[in-house]
């Protein structure tokens, strides 16, 4: 396995670069890719930056230029369900692009020419990641939605939940990585620590959380994953 680990923000990657043994840094396409050994696993860590295009580009480069065979996205997200609390972790089983709408030509949410409106994560990788996360905090499994919007209004998250009743978390990159991995045949998984409730308090909660809990969780989960 050569594992690509993507995060959007520096806080989400906190500690991982320091843990990489024999690190080697490579600049490409406005991003820094660091290769090395992460507790015996051959790994490449990178910050995608924010949003679906940024994440898609990063995933494709990881595969095509750095030869990764598996990808994990680790980051934070807003809650999409009343049972999913700040500090919980959501591990995706499926991901959807909530802002994709080519109707009436295609059903809403469907990605043209794939026939799919959601992409499933790799079962083995997801099981291993969920096991690693359960040692850290409460874990939920299910649907994550991604779009090029920070969801910070109660009315926004309520409308999304009405359209996607199974929704557990909302963020800005996961489903883009999912589509790239689907198209390239790369097993992938997405894990998100809940930083906010995607409501009117989201921006303030997010800023606080990212600096405190999120960075430690991300590190602990990846550590457990690599040692498993
Ligand atoms: N002000 C921040 C912007 C971060 S955008 C900054 O300058 O760094 C939010 C990031 O966290 C995205 O990468 C997204 O994937 C995730 N996220 C957390 N809460 C979210 C929410 N409520 N809606 C959408 N994305 C969210």
Report whether pLDDT(222) > 80. Answer: yes
Q: What angle do CA 139, 224, 213 make, to 5 degrees?
A: 60
Instruction: Give mean pLDDT, residues 199-226.
Output: 90
Q: Please give the pLDDT value at position 31.
A: 98
Å from CA of 164 to ligand 1 middle = 20
Which position among 88, 110, 196, 205 bears the catalytic label?
196
- What is the number of the ligand 1 atom nearest to the C-alpha of 8? 13
Going from the Cα of 205 to the center of ligand 1, the distance in angstroms, rounded, reads 11
How many whole angstroms from 171 Cα to the centroid of ligand 1? 6
Which of 186, 99, 188 is closest to 150 using CA atoms? 99
Mean pLDDT of all residues in 148-173 = 98
Read off the pLDDT of residues 174-209 as tens digits, 9 standing for 90 and up.
999 999 999 999 999 999 999 999 999 999 889 888
| Torsion on CA atoms 75, 76, 77, 83, rounded to nearest 10 | 110
Q: Whose CA is nearest to atom 17 of ligand 1?
A: 77
| Total residue length of the chain | 228
- CATH code of the domain containing 113: 3.40.50.1580
Structure tokens at 31: 């991003």
State residue 218's pLDDT score. 87
CB 58 within 8 A of CB 50: no
- Write the residue with the smallest CA distance to atom 5 of ligand 1: 150
Task: Establish whether 12 is a catalytic residue.
Answer: yes
Domain count for the chain, please give it: 1
Active-site residue, 18 included: no
78 within ligand 1 shell (Cβ under 6 A): yes
Q: Mean pLDDT over residues 62-78, rounded?
A: 97
Query: Which pLDDT does position 120 carry in this prediction?
Result: 98
C-beta of 171 in contact with ligand 1 (< 6 A): yes
Range(s) of the domain holding residue 36: 2-227
Per-residue confidence (pLDDT) for residue 14, from 0 to 100: 86
Ligand 1 pocket member 77 (CB < 6 A)? yes
For residue 214, the model assigns a pLDDT of: 77
Q: Which residues of 65-79 are buried (b: 16+ CB within 10 A; e: fewer)?
A: eeebebbbbbbbbbb
């Amino acid at each position: 396995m050569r594992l690509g680990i993507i995060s959007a923000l520096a806080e989400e990657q906190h500690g991982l670069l320091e843990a990489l043994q024999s690190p080697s840094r490579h600049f490409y396409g406005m991003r820094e890719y660091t290769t090395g050994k992460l507790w015996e696993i051959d790994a490449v860590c990178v910050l995608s930056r924010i949003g679906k295009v940024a994440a898609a580009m990063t995933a494709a480069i990881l595969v095509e230029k750095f030869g990764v065979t598996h990808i994990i996205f680790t980051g934070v997200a807003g809650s999409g369900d009343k049972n999913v609390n700040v500090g919980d972790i959501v591990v995706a089983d499926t991901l959807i692009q909530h802002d994709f709408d080519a109707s009436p030509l295609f059903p809403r949410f469907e990605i043209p020419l794939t026939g799919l409106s959601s992409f499933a994560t790799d079962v083995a990788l997801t099981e291993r990641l969920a096991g690693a996360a359960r040692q850290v905090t409460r874990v939920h499994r299910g649907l994550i939605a991604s779009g090029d919007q920070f969801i910070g209004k109660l009315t926004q998250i309520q409308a999304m939940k009405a359209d996607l009743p199974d929704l557990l978390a909302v963020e800005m990159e996961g489903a883009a990585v999912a589509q790239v991995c689907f198209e390239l045949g790369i097993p992938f998984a997405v894990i998100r620590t809940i930083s906010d409730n995607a409501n009117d308090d989201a921006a303030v909660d997010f800023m606080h959380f990212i600096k405190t809990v999120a960075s430690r969780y991300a590190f602990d989960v990846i550590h457990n994953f690599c040692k498993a």
